[in-house]
Chain A
Amino acid sequence: MNGAIYGVVGIVLFAIGLYALFVRPHVLHKLIAGNVAVSGVFLVLLRSGHGAPDPVSQAMVLTGIVVAVAITGFAAALLVRMARVTGRATLGRSSGP
């Protein structure tokens, strides 16, 4: 079993994704970065199983993918609407009315 590689790669992806989510100004970049981070989490989840194959960790990853797809789809639609209304695809500084 050479499962440790999943854990290490997963944590690295999580860290890269989270970093980019905070520093990238463009919301589409942020969204992709968030997906990279979540994919890293899925790798760690796969590694977390007890006994091979562990159906619980696989079920968690599958459900997690469904959740991530739903959130990403909604966020993409929201981004398009936001860009049309405000004319920009960044969040800018804390927005007053």
Chain B
Amino acid sequence: MSDAVSAPWLMAAPVVLPLAAGLISVVLPRGRAELAVGVGALILIASSALLQTVTASGTQFMAVGGWTPPLGIGWRLDFIAALFLTVTALICLVVALFARGYLRRALPAVDERFWPPFLLLWAALAALYLSADLFNLYVALELLTLAAVMLVTLEGNGAALTGAMRYLLVALAGSAAYLLGVAFLYQGAGTLDLAQAAAGGAVPALAVALMTAGLMAKGALFPLHGWLPPAHAAAPAPGSALLSGLVVKGAFYVLLRLWFEAEPIAGTTRQILGLLGVLAIGWGALLALRQARLKLVVAYSTVAQLGYLLLIFPLAEGAWRTAALSGGLYLALSHSMAKGAMFLSAGLVLYAAGHDRIAELRGLASRAPMTLFAFALAGVTLMGLPPSGGFIAKWQLLTAALGGGQWPWAVVLLAGSLLTAGYTFRAVASTFGSAPAQRDFRTPPRSLEWLALGLALAALGIGFLAADWLPRLEAAFR
């Protein structure tokens, strides 16, 4: 609370700046891309400053507009929220820079429609990370869904519109279930603050179950994942990067707060969630191996990778709780960056070849080597090879599995890495060899290739920050 003067403005910046820029970009069509990039740089600076503030003076609270909860909106900034804000700002800034060059060249019709929902999505994510109570989380989730569905519709063809509609309807059912859970919790505990409810010892299991089911639908967690691949594959590449990298993690973020700040349910329910994770890893990877189009491979890979996040629930028990939780958060962050890089590379493949049918990409590696390198490098993080962020995450989860005597989960973790290697290698390998003469591939712009590669390198690079981040993530859940 020592930063009482500067912190409120700083805390508002990640929500207010993209929201204002989004509204401006609806009215003023010229210079939207430049506006988004400029605002993005400011948000990244503000988020980094917030990370410093949290490190120096601990968790920050803020009542928006001076109205105190429960009737006002309460914001809370802890280390996890600050870290998610910063990583989100980094990914969104890279995506903005990428979209600025990519859409003009590849999809000029989409260029003018992309920026307002993109900026709205950014604001919704920031509001989600900061929200302190369960009802404000609901509002933030709805804003996020609305912006995400808009991104899916952008190309305007039948597949995009149908995929968006299915996504919206699943999300509608999910939010109804979540809100019913909130109602039961408020009835039982008399508060919307999860920590307070848990302290009072009154968190009804039914409320938690309903909220969990709703969040699993929104976060495409198995078996409620069916809407994800068509929707994520139908969006333009920068949009897919946001959807797979950040939007589904938003629901996971709430789920994690719900289960591990209050510890509502222990035992078998957690094992069931873990089993669903195993099914997601296997099913997602099998379907990723069978897809004919590159974007669908990447989208099914998201289904599989989200399964790992469900493994946290059985693993975070007893002495190994903090190891599993910090590993899970690390996995979410590194997957965000790696999946963003993968979809941006897939977009460049689409630009270079004019399509993304894997069987007809032979010879692309010699025309766009850097694009394929970025794709493969992102795959390294997903596989969990050292020194990537994915490696640190899986190491933590493995430690928790073996240390806690739950070795079957460790087998799943390792087998999942093999499957990931399988579909990544299949996609990359199809681009080698000499191209048949009748194929004319375009060379993707070098600046865009650097952006995709930069994001893949960042996913690799956060492995080196583990010594600094892991202890603080563990402390956040103690």
Contacts and interface: CB of A to CB of B under 8 A. Distances in A.
A43 to B, nearest CB: 9
Given A63-B139, A92-B162, A34 B146 contact: no
B146 A37 contact: no
A41 B149 contact: no
Contact of A94 (B145, B149, B175, B230): B230
Interface string B144-188: 011001100100111101111110110011011101101110110
A9 interface: no
Contact of B180 (A34, A41, A94): A41
Given A34-B169, A71-B142, A78-B164, A17 B230 contact: no
B186 A95 contact: no
Contacts of B175: 38
Nearest to B233: A97
A85 B168 contact: no
A60 B71 CA distance: 9
Contacts of A59: 71
Contacts of B94: none
Interface residues on A, range: 35 or more
A8 interface: no
Contacts of B176: 14, 17-18, 34, 37-38, 41
* Chain A at the B interface: SS class: helix
Interface in A55-75: 55-57, 59-60, 63-64, 67, 70-71, 74-75
Contacts of A56: 70-71, 186, 192
State which size class the interface on B falls in: 35 or more
A21 B172 CA distance: 9
Contacts of B404: none
Interface in A76-97: 78-79, 81-82, 85-86, 91-92, 94-97
Interface of A: 14, 17-18, 21-22, 27, 30-31, 34, 37-38, 40-41, 44-45, 47-48, 50, 55-57, 59-60, 63-64, 67, 70-71, 74-75, 78-79, 81-82, 85-86, 91-92, 94-97
- Sorted nearest first, the 10 A-B pairs with minimum C-beta distance are A48-B187, A82-B161, A86-B158, A34-B172, A44-B183, A45-B183, A37-B176, A48-B186, A41-B180, A48-B183
Interface of B: 70-71, 135, 138-139, 142, 145-146, 149-150, 153, 156-159, 161-166, 168-169, 172-173, 175-177, 179-180, 182-184, 186-187, 190, 192, 226, 230, 233-234, 293
15 contacts: A18-B173, A34-B172, A34-B173, A37-B176, A41-B180, A44-B184, A47-B187, A70-B146, A71-B172, A74-B150, A81-B156, A82-B161, A86-B158, A91-B169, A95-B158
